[in-house]
């Protein structure tokens, strides 16, 4: 296990707030081609590393468990749902804080193990949890658009052109840290590259209070954006509901909510609309796939369709979940948060659609930069 810095920018010399993530490897006693099967995971993107919680609290529970407590019905593979119950043993409701990210990090590695032991891609391994008709390719948009310290608009336009040339049809940029006029100028510049503002989403990164959120929503209305994301504090459901009553375009929310209890509050009090709004819960930050499924199923009981779910993350794990669970689409970070953002080396984006890699597990090994990071973790250089 190791905690490492990650940057929002391709140029890692640009300050990125000290952001970190934790890499983890789960080494099994199952041997294939002379080597043990190893499951890899990391703490997704946007929070901080969770090495302390994993080492002191959750990994010991997993190590101390009898195999029967985490085995599937065949007795030849692990059942990540049973392993998740072991990780959460003795945990009280509430207090989600950062423990949800620690559990989600381990959970990712366990799903990688289970799919590798089954010798299938992860999306195939979890297909029983998804729609009856399998999804062949999923919608994908590119995330990025952070503020550059110099020549911001010029460098932003260059970034978006590179993303467009990769085959992405939709792009999400950041707003809320400059004046509203400057942010609108950034949106206009991106819209020109992406053909129209309807192909652009704006992420305010939870920066606005009620007044600022309403002002921004009013200013954005004429653009007809793809969606307006994370416009206020994650738990300020009153402000979110006020904006939803006034803003006709789609709103995206949920990235910084980490439990089914918080998700229920969003649905009940946030004014989100099941016919147009987008749900951004990060599967790793929601206690992993078991916790994320609780949220999906809760919203389904309330009349939401799975195509409203576009999980936050922008990496291979979320791509597999979208394809396996039949969700709306996935974020991809082609240039940000390296070496974990982006897809495999040979991934082909066609008209904004992409397929998960057809290799056992998640496929981190099929991305050179990520493979090297995990090899270094294992002492392989």
- Specify whether 174 is catalytic: yes
- Write out the DSSP string of 105-160: HHHHHHHHHHHHHHTSBHHHHTGGGS-SSPPSSEEEEEE--PPPSSSHHHHHHHHH
Catalytic-labelled residue, pool 116, 124, 170, 174: 174
The CA distance from 111 to 66, in Å, is 18
Active site residue 312: yes
Coil vs helix vs strand at 289: helix
Q: What is the CA radius of gyration of the chain?
A: 20
State the burial class of residue 170 (Cβ atoms within 10 Å of its Cβ: 0-12, 13-18, 19+). Answer: buried
Is the Cα torsion angle 301, 305, 306, 310 positive or negative in sign? negative
Report helix, strand and coil shares of the chain as percent, to nearest 5: 40, 15, 40
Determine which one of 172, 312, 315, 320 is catalytic: 312
CA terminus-to-terminus distance, the chain: 15
What positions carry a catalytic annotation?
174, 312
């Amino acid at each position: 296990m190791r905690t490492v810095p990650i940057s929002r920018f391709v140029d890692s010399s640009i300050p990125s707030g000290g952001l970190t993530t934790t890499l983890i490897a789960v080494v099994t006693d199952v041997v294939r081609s002379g080597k043990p099967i190893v499951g890899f995971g990391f703490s997704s993107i946007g929070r901080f590393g969770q090495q302390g919680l994993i080492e002191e609290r959750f990994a010991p529970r997993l190590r101390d468990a009898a195999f029967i407590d985490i085995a599937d019905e065949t007795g030849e593979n692990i059942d990540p749902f049973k392993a998740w119950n072991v990780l959460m043993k003795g945990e009280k409701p509430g207090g989600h804080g950062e423990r949800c990210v620690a559990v989600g990090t381990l959970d990712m590695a366990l799903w990688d193990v289970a799919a590798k032991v089954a010798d299938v891609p992860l999306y195939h391994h979890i297909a029983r949890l998804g729609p009856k008709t399998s999804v062949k390719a999923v919608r994908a948009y590119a995330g990025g658009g952070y503020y550059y310290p110099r020549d911001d608009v010029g460098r932003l336009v260059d970034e978006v052109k590179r993303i467009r040339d990769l085959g992405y049809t939709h792009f999400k940029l950041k707003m809320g840290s400059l004046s509203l006029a400057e942010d609108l100028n950034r949106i206009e510049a991106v819209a020109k590259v992406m053909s129209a503002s309807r192909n652009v989403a704006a992420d305010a990164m939870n920066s606005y209070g009620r007044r600022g959120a309403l002002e921004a929503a009013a200013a954005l209305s004429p653009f007809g954006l793809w969606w307006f994301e994370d416009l206020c504090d994650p738990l300020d459901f009153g402000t979110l509901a006020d904006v939803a009553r006034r803003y006709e375009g789609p709103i995206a929310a949920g990235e910084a909510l980490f439990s089914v209890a918080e998700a229920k509050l969003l649905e009940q009090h946030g004014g989100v609309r099941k016919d147009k709004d987008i749900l951004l819960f990060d599967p790793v930050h929601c206690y992993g796939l078991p916790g994320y499924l609780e949220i999906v199923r809760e919203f389904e009981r309330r009349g939401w369709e799975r195509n409203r779910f576009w999980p936050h993350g922008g990496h291979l794990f979320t791509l597999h979940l979208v394809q396996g669970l039949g969700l709306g689409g996935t974020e991809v970070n082609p240039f940000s948060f390296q070496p974990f953002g982006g897809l495999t080396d040979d991934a082909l984006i066609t008209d904004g659609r992409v397929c998960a890699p057809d290799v056992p597990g998640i496929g981190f090994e099929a991305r050179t930069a990520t493979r090297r990071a995990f090899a270094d973790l294992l002492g392989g250089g």
